[in-house]
Amino acid sequence: MRLSKSIDEYLAAGGWSSHLFLQHAKDVFEDPTLKRTATFQVGRSVIYIRSQGKMLKAYVHHNGRNKEFMTLTDETGEEVKTFHHTEKSSAIVRFMLDFFAGRK
């Protein structure tokens, strides 16, 4: 699936409606393990992260939540985790790495 935005465009636009998670996104994109093992596709309202045959979709405003929350769903759309913007990026990265390794 081809999404219409690039990581650079996402970062240059300040993350659009996910601006409260901009630093988190930068940290995810630059995490050495994720950078080596995952692929990212960026859209205006979603980021797809694929690794080890699995996929996470990252959304802000998912299911009516406000911009302070980012929800990760699996490839079927089932919610697997929601983070508040005050959560440390390292917790989000750790969750992703655990999910992709089958330790969710």
In this predicted model, what pLDDT tens digit does every residue of 16-41 receive, in sequence order? Answer: 989 999 999 999 999 999 999 999 99
| CA separation for the pair 39, 57 (Å, rounded) | 12
Thinking of the domain 7-100, which architecture would CATH place it in? 2-Layer Sandwich (3.30)
pLDDT band, residue 3 (cuts 50/70/90)? low
Q: The whole model's pTM is what?
A: 0.92
Report whether 82 contacts 24 (CB < 8 A).
Answer: no
DSSP 45-64: S-EEEEETTEEEEEEESGGG
| CA separation for the pair 13, 17 (Å, rounded) | 10
- How many CB atoms lie under 10 A from the CB of residue 64? 6
Q: Give 37-56 pLDDT, tens digit per residue.
A: 999 999 888 999 999 999 99
